[in-house]
């Protein structure tokens, strides 16, 4: 027992000396539990919505008020043409587009069906299902109200259902889950490989004592970092190519946009992930710490980026936290090119966000690395 007691004391002392590892072991699970308990919500509400109301009568305003009051649709944009609705949905600014015909109110007054077109961005099947269900339910409830009024008002037969809600799911009309998941898995796979492996690269050199040998060579710091980054970049491209081939050959994944643009923008994401990995490697002392910190970055990337759960369902704080992750923007790029077929004119905000992330992260990494070398 005395030997065991001495060993336990030694282990606790060792844990106390390695404070970063101790903090990560005790603090990170609690932080993740709290974060994800609040952030993950499968009941998707507050979908950004664009409306093209050609009727501009009280009936159309009542319908829009009912849709907004449901909590599922946030009317953020008012379009003046059908093309504006298309552009907003293509760019991802709006997840739902509602188009009301000019004769909407006239048809209701004469007992005819009044058509309402609901365009849904089906690249995210969970959000699209919520929008479709909510729109159909509200259409049925409004129709029931009008039919009841007609039955009470006169003895004739009620007309057909007054509200004709026509759903148009775009980009993935059959809701094939593989179309949604395969681009997401590509991004997650790259994140896992690039961040974790790179974060351990410099730490491993330091632990083995080979980092000092590299430093005393004429090689400059940026050359050393590039030397660490370039081989993993090539590995990332091989992963993307294999994933795309598997998606097309096995799951019939459609690639509607430019493949060259996809590969070009993948370079930005790979660089962003490698820069993040390098930053982790400069703030950790050993491979265990590097792996734990990488895992801490990896989990939010999976849960807050929109890979599994729609970002529209997250509270504002967690939605903003997701904007700090490069995977959030890369998933929008992947799904935009592969499923929507959009180009640079639509994806420039995501590109700008990745470039800013790379500049900031690489600058911090190089400065911290220089301090360690000094």
Residue 352: the pLDDT is 95
Question: How large is the angle between the packed helices 287-304 and 177-208, nearest 10 degrees?
Answer: 160
The burial of 10, by beta-carbon neighbours within 10 Å (0-12 exposed, 13-18 middle, 19 or more buried), is given as exposed
Residue 182: the pLDDT is 85
- Structure confidence by residue, pLDDT tens digits, 153-190: 655 555 566 778 888 888 888 888 788 888 888 888 88
Residue 160: the pLDDT is 63
3-state secondary structure of 75: strand
Q: What is the largest CA-CA distance in the chain?
A: 97
Local structure of residue 336 (DSSP, 8 states): I
**Average pLDDT per 10 consecutive residues for the chain, totaling 374 residues:** 78 74 71 69 80 88 87 89 89 88 84 85 80 82 75 58 81 82 87 82 76 71 74 86 89 89 92 87 80 80 82 81 91 91 90 93 79 54
**Residue 165 β-bridge partners:** 116
Angstrom distances, CA of residue 41 to CA of 17, 232, 315, 318, 337: 39, 35, 9, 11, 27
DSSP calls for 128-192: HHHHHHHHHHHHHHHHHHHHHHHHHH-SS---S-SEEEEEEEES-TT--HHHHHHHHHHHHHHHH
Angstrom distances, CA of residue 289 to CA of 10, 18, 58, 105: 20, 10, 62, 65
- Side-chain-side CA neighbours of 20 within 13 Å: the count stands at 12
The burial of 78, by beta-carbon neighbours within 10 Å (0-12 exposed, 13-18 middle, 19 or more buried), is given as exposed
- Candidates 147, 190, 306, 174; CA nearest to 251 is 174
Residue 132: the pLDDT is 83
pTM of structure: 0.79
CA distance 203 to 293: 13
How many Å separate Cα 177 from the centre of its chain? 16
- Candidates 252, 264, 257; CA nearest to 340 is 257
């Amino acid at each position: 027992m005395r030997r065991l007691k001495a060993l336990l004391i030694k282990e606790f002392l060792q844990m106390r000396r390695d404070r970063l590892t101790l903090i990560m072991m005790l603090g990170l699970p609690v932080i993740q539990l709290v974060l994800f308990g609040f952030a993950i919500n499968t009941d998707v509400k507050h979908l950004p919505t664009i409306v093209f109301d050609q009727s501009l009568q009280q009936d159309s305003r009542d319908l829009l008020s009912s849709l907004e009051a449901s909590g599922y649709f946030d009317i953020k944009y008012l379009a003046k043409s059908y093309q504006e609705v298309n552009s907003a949905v293509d760019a991802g600014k709006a997840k739902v587009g509602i188009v009301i015909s000019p004769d909407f109110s006239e048809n209701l007054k004469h007992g005819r069906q009044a058509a309402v077109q609901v365009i849904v961005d089906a690249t995210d099947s969970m959000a699209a299902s919520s929008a479709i269900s909510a729109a159909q339910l509200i259409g049925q409830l409004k129709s029931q109200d009008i039919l009841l009024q007609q039955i009470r008002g006169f003895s004739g037969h009620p007309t057909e259902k007054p509200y004709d809600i026509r759903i148009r799911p775009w980009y993935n009309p059959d809701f094939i889950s593989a179309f949604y998941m395969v681009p997401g898995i590509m991004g997650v796979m790259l994140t896992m490989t690039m961040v974790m492996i790179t974060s351990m690269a410099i730490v491993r050199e330091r632990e083995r004592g080979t980092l000092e040998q590299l430093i005393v060579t004429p090689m400059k710091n940026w050359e050393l970092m590039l030397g660490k980054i370039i081989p993993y970049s090539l590995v990332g491209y091989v992963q993307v190519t294999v994933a795309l081939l598997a998606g097309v050959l096995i799951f019939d994944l459609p690639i509607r946009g430019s493949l060259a643009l996809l590969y070009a923008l993948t370079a930005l994401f790979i660089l962003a992930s490698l820069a993040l990995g390098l930053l982790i490697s400069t703030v950790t002392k050993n491979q265990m710490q590097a792996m734990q910190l990488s895992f801490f970055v990896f989990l939010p990337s999976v849960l807050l980026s929109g890979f599994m759960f729609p970002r529209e369902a997250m509270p504002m704080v967690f939605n903003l936290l997701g904007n700090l992750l490069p995977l959030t923007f890369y998933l929008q790029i992947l799904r935009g090119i592969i499923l929507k077929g959009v180009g640079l004119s639509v994806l420039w905000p995501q590109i700008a966000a990745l470039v800013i992330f790379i500049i900031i992260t690489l600058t911090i990494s190089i400065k911290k690395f220089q301090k360690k070398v000094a």
